[in-house]
Structure 1
Amino acid sequence: MRVLLIRPPYTRLKGAGQAPYFPLGLGYITSVLRENGFDANLYHAENPQKGDDSLIPDADIGFDLRSKGYRRYLDAINNDSHYVWEEVRQTLRAYKPDLVGISLLSVEVASALKISKLCKEYDKDCYVLWGGLHPSFMPEECLRNEEVDFVIRGEGEYASLELCNTLKNGGSFSEIKGLSFKKNAATVHNPMRDAIAEIDKVPPPARDAVLYPESFDFKSLGSMIVSRGCPFRCTFCSSRNFWDKKVRLRTPENVIQEIKVLKEKFGTRYIMFWDDSFTINRKVIERYCRSIIDSGLKISWKTATRADLIDSEILDLMKKAGCVKLEIGVESGSERIKKLINKDVSNKQIKMAFDLIQRKGIGVGGFFMAGFPDETIEDLTDTFNLMKELRAGELAFNIFDPMPGSSEYDKCIEMGLVAPAADWNNFPFWPDAYYVKNIKREDFDKYVNTIAHWLYNYNNTLSVRLKRSKQYLLFMLKNDPAFLLSKVMAFITRRRRVHKLKSGSG
């Protein structure tokens, strides 16, 4: 039985957004399936192929191009001859899967549905399975699409394995915990599966299973996690509910072994830890850092955490272990809004954290968000003022999107800001999102565009660009100067394309 696991394209269709990355969730599932004898591969349709330089990374664009990009995304969904869909068709014909599993976020529903239709066109008997954050919280709605046969809710490794075994050998779908499926005219939702207690027992992500490996570079393959879950109560995030309110940590030995494989097999010396809050357990993080130091691996890495989960001693240890950048979830500069969204970190703590990280010689970044349902112009002003006051490293600014599985999403429905049966195939996401009850749309758009343009200019100043790229440039000069030259040329090409798009000629 041949299984193809796919991440659908989103920013690639928009032509503007984040850089390529390795999809860890599908990597883990692929490993489990392969370990149990299935012919499984991973297709990351979000990554541009070699020679396709159309994707402009986050740092190079402002909100105006993002908004145009979302319209390009919708146009691409309706364009059957779009080159990405041709690539999907070619991949299906070449790989000949019996089952296609698609992991998706809410923003990718339309793209995932398009791929599902292409799967059924390729072979009407090809099974289509959806998983990930959106299907986990909206399984009933997902299964209303005739092209979707199954949905897995929550962690997917062993539910996927049991489903593949059942399809191959026969048996009852009703025995597979975490599975939702169609039975006659009804939809069946099996009981939830318990969270995997010992995540060390899950084999490492199958990075060697990727189709089109040339679309990955050493940075994207260096994605890792050391934990699953988040204990915090932020109302805009569904992570806590997805992971069943549990936090599970890998052992340092398990983490070091994966880093060794990344370095020896893939030549990766730069790691991005994608954990919700990396320093959530101080004692374990100390053990991670000391294990990295004692191993002599000499890697560089970055991660994200909360401002109230760091101090001078842990930062010293992290830097010695190779940490070159630490990003902080700030969200709002309004103390009132922070209370409403359960972001229990004060502006004073945030300023102290940014100052401390910089004094330690570690790069720092911050994530901001605006557009919460209860927000006012005064709250937006507080956020803008904090951004300007911090002026440290690279800052990111998003507009709030109501995500299924979060309490803020439920609030939006109660307040009439989101329809109970929303059309996720054409749902206004950032930067076109607007789910605020106390600010007129035109005033909100005007203010967030003011913030976004200031931020674009700030992030693209020479000093910030040098801070952002310093460690990366030093690493590449030492290890792969030819690749660095190709990235510089690609950057020049992107800047020309940005200018063309801004002038309205592209």
Structure 2
Amino acid sequence: MSDIVLIAPPIREFYLTKKRTIPYGLACIAKQLEQAEFSCTIIDALARNKSKIIEYPKKFSHLIPHYGRTDITLFSLFHHYRHFGYSFEHIANLVRQERPFLVGISALFTPYWGQALDTARQVKRFWPSAFIVLGGHHATQFPETCLKCKEIDFVIQGEGEAPMVQLARQLKNQAPGTLPEADDLRQISGIGFKQGNGIVLNPPAWADSPHGLDQNALDKIDWHFYQRNKKAAITIVASRGCPFSCSYCAVSASSNYGKFRIRPVKDVLDEIKLQVRSKQIGFIDFEDENLTLKKSWALELLDGIRQIFKGQDIELRAMNGLFPPSLDTEILTAMKATGFKTLNLSVGSFSATQLKRFRRPDVRQAHDRVLDIAKDLDMDCVSYLLGAAPGQTAATTLNDLLTLATRRTVAGLSIYYPAPGSADYVLCEKQELLPHDFTSMRSTAFPVVDTTSRLEAVTLLRLARILNFLKFCVDQNGVLPKALSADEILDMENSCHGEMDRYEASTLLIRLFLTDAIPRGMDHEGRIYPHPHSINLCKKFIQTLKNITLFGAVQSSSSQGADLIPDSTRIDH
């Protein structure tokens, strides 16, 4: 049995990247609770490999024309909507077995708020004597909305390590169903609670110098689930916050998030050493916003990691993205030597106007310089763009994609969603662009319709996938698939039935697309069908490809670009 149970709830989504769902934040809170002599258990509802196909929410009816049919191609979007993780009843039963006096539930992302609430409801039903506190980004941004739910007794705004300890001390000897004195609760940093018919909210709590995990906290994570190639895949957070003021980001200096704070290098290395003692590590993801922003610190960290894993094969990634101006030959060489094989580069846009609208530093020249260095070091790259934001046209995003077509990098396009707490969220609210419910506030739902229509947004995302498949073809074959004649298109659409290999199907449909600019899908029976699309965007995409040299994504010196038409005009970079 445990005094306190911390829960990472299930989520409902079209996909899940499980190596990014490690409950690192809950483990940080568990560390502080146990150091304060409270026994603590983490229930990670996502630590299971099975998922359940469920119906689309009613608010997602607009997605059915785009996602509603199976597409086996390698550049397909999404299809099934799923419940990832344990059932709410199973979680509640696990809580009842622990018999805690306090249950903390993580609500990190607003579109998954419904699953956090359903978890709270079932926990209250199975174990009504426990107090329930909700924390995370959603609770920080919408504390009053959360507290209006009868199952939620408290919220914590900001970072939860110190507030959870303070709250636990107040509640430890409290009778079930009775709250401490309001004056005592007001002394807890970041806390929100109900008082009579009103709600009391203290300012968010931010740690001055955040630290990581000890062995006790690490042991509470189910590392058997988080594996990559039969080795442990771990997460490290070496810094918190961000000094930049990008309008779309809820962790930026323009939001109400805490300031940028870097952990001491020794503290980070000690945490990694603890992990090495208990498991064989094959992958480390740094979930920092700006891992390499302070060069001397980053070089010291990389040197320390090399000493820890000397002679071992390990891969490092910074999947939240790297700031290109912070990367030079010295630091990239050190990253390569330490185990970075792929660089996730944050760009935003190649449009000066759009970068200004995003309040984003202009990283375009630095991005191209990094690609050149990465090529010499034989490192792969993924370049991240943001599309369909307020005021951003579809033509701007298409030009961004076509710019990446002429670079040796994978195109990573994210469709804009309004992140609560960001400057753009306030803008969307003022312009009445916000979706009408929290569930729709996700990239996969194309939530904002402004200067880019929803059909254009879906088309752009599909074109990004198509572009990356074309880059794959260049890397594999040195040339692009050939277009077809009109007669060949009709013949193939009418005669193509039965199961087909994914690569073969993808190549066939790409050849069709390069001929008439119609993106198509193929179901498991081999039936070909057209996807809804913006024909203007698709035609401009293909026409531009005819006049440039399209490069693959592999940064090998032997990798060559490919022309759609051999004697076309080249644009080399």
Measure the CA separation in 1 of the matches of 2:526 and 2:468.
Answer: 13
Q: For the structure 1 residues 250 and 65, does the alpha-carbon distance in structure 2 shift closer, same or farther, using more than 3 Å as the test?
A: same
Matches within 5 A, 1:67-466: 68-69=79-80, 72-73=81-82, 84-104=87-107, 105-169=109-173, 172-193=184-205, 195-200=206-211, 203=214, 206-210=217-221, 214-217=224-227, 221-240=233-252, 244-295=257-308, 297=310, 298=312, 299-303=314-318, 304-392=321-409, 394-418=410-434, 422-424=436-438, 426-445=439-458, 447-455=459-467, 457-458=469-470, 463=475
Q: Deviations over 1:402-434 (max 9, x none)?
A: 011100000001111026xx432x325222224
Q: SS of the residue aligned with 1:352?
A: helix
Residue 18 of structure 2 aligns with which residue? 19
Shift in Å at residue 131 of structure 1? 1.0
Measure the CA separation in 1 of the matches of 2:305 and 2:292.
Answer: 15
For the 8 Å contact 1:22–1:220, the answer to whether it is kept is no
For the 8 Å contact 2:232–2:280, the answer to whether it is kept is no
Measure the CA separation in 1 of the matches of 2:526 and 2:241.
Answer: 40
Q: SS of the residue aligned with 1:5?
A: strand
Shift in Å at residue 102 of structure 1? 1.5
Q: SS of the residue aligned with 2:341?
A: strand
Q: Percent identity?
A: 23
Name the TM-score, length of structure 2 as normaliser. Answer: 0.71
Q: For the structure 1 residues 271 and 146, does the alpha-carbon distance in structure 2 shift closer, same or farther, using more than 3 Å as the test?
A: same
Measure the CA separation in 1 of the matches of 2:15 and 2:265.
Answer: 37
Which consecutive residues of structure 2, in runs of 5 or more, have no partner in the other structure? 54-71, 175-179, 477-501, 507-521, 529-573
Higher Cα Rg, which structure: 2
For the 8 Å contact 1:32–1:203, the answer to whether it is kept is no
Q: SS of the residue aligned with 1:263?
A: helix
Q: For the structure 1 residues 33 and 455, does the alpha-carbon distance in structure 2 shift closer, same or farther, using more than 3 Å as the test?
A: farther
For the 8 Å contact 1:227–1:275, the answer to whether it is kept is yes
Shift in Å at residue 363 of structure 1? 2.8
For the 8 Å contact 1:129–1:152, the answer to whether it is kept is yes
For the 8 Å contact 2:28–2:212, the answer to whether it is kept is no
Shift in Å at residue 379 of structure 1? 0.9
Measure the CA separation in 2 of the matches of 1:382 and 1:40.
Answer: 51
Q: SS of the residue aligned with 1:439?
A: coil
Shift in Å at residue 4 of structure 1? 1.5
Q: Deviations over 1:107-133 (max 9, x none)?
A: 211111111111111122222211111
Shift in Å at residue 92 of structure 1? 2.5
Q: Deviations over 1:349-374 (max 9, x none)?
A: 22222222232222322222211010
Q: Deviations over 1:152-187 (max 9, x none)?
A: 111110101111111014552111011111111111
User: What amino acid sits opposite 2:158 in the alignment?
Assistant: G
Q: For the structure 1 residues 294 and 451, does the alpha-carbon distance in structure 2 shift closer, same or farther, using more than 3 Å as the test?
A: same
Measure the CA separation in 1 of the matches of 2:161 and 2:527.
Answer: 47
Residue 476 of structure 1 aligns with which residue? none
Q: SS of the residue aligned with 2:117?
A: helix
For the 8 Å contact 2:232–2:282, the answer to whether it is kept is no
Q: Deviations over 1:283-327 (max 9, x none)?
A: 111211222334454443122311111111111122223322221
Measure the CA separation in 2 of the matches of 1:502 and 1:341.
Answer: 43
Measure the CA separation in 1 of the matches of 2:87 and 2:526.
Answer: 24
Measure the CA separation in 2 of the matches of 1:457 and 1:167.
Answer: 56
Q: SS of the residue aligned with 2:298?
A: helix
User: What amino acid sits opposite 2:298 in the alignment?
Assistant: I
Shift in Å at residue 271 of structure 1? 1.2
Q: For the structure 1 residues 64 and 115, does the alpha-carbon distance in structure 2 shift closer, same or farther, using more than 3 Å as the test?
A: farther
Shift in Å at residue 383 of structure 1? 1.8
Measure the CA separation in 1 of the matches of 2:74 and 2:167.
Answer: 43
Name the TM-score, length of structure 1 as normaliser. Answer: 0.80
Q: Deviations over 1:39-73 (max 9, x none)?
A: 21112212324xx3779xxxx9989653x44xx35
Measure the CA separation in 1 of the matches of 2:276 and 2:247.
Answer: 38
Measure the CA separation in 2 of the matches of 1:157 and 1:163.
Answer: 10
Aligned length: 450
User: What amino acid sits opposite 1:325 in the alignment?
Assistant: T
Shift in Å at residue 331 of structure 1? 2.1
User: What amino acid sits opposite 2:226 in the alignment?
Assistant: F
Q: SS of the residue aligned with 1:375?
A: coil
Shift in Å at residue 335 of structure 1? 2.3
Shift in Å at residue 396 of structure 1? 2.5
Shift in Å at residue 499 of structure 1? 6.5
Residue 2 of structure 1 aligns with which residue? 3
Q: For the structure 1 residues 213 and 302, does the alpha-carbon distance in structure 2 shift closer, same or farther, using more than 3 Å as the test?
A: closer
Which consecutive residues of structure 1, in runs of 5 or more, have no partner in the other structure? 465-490
Q: SS of the residue aligned with 1:187?
A: strand
For the 8 Å contact 1:263–1:269, the answer to whether it is kept is no
Q: SS of the residue aligned with 1:305?
A: coil
Measure the CA separation in 1 of the matches of 2:225 and 2:287.
Answer: 20
Q: SS of the residue aligned with 2:443?
A: coil
Residue 551 of structure 2 aligns with which residue? none
Q: SS of the residue aligned with 1:398?
A: strand
User: What amino acid sits opposite 2:329 in the alignment?
Assistant: S
Measure the CA separation in 2 of the matches of 1:33 and 1:400.
Answer: 37
The RMSD of aligned alpha carbons is 3.2
Residue 46 of structure 2 aligns with which residue? 46
Q: For the structure 1 residues 255 and 201, does the alpha-carbon distance in structure 2 shift closer, same or farther, using more than 3 Å as the test?
A: closer
Q: SS of the residue aligned with 1:323?
A: coil
Measure the CA separation in 1 of the matches of 2:390 and 2:121.
Answer: 35
Measure the CA separation in 2 of the matches of 1:502 and 1:389.
Answer: 33
Residue 482 of structure 1 aligns with which residue? none
> Once structures 1 and 2 are overlaid, which stretch shifts more, 402-411 or 161-170?
161-170
> Once structures 1 and 2 are overlaid, which stretch shifts more, 267-276 or 93-102?
93-102
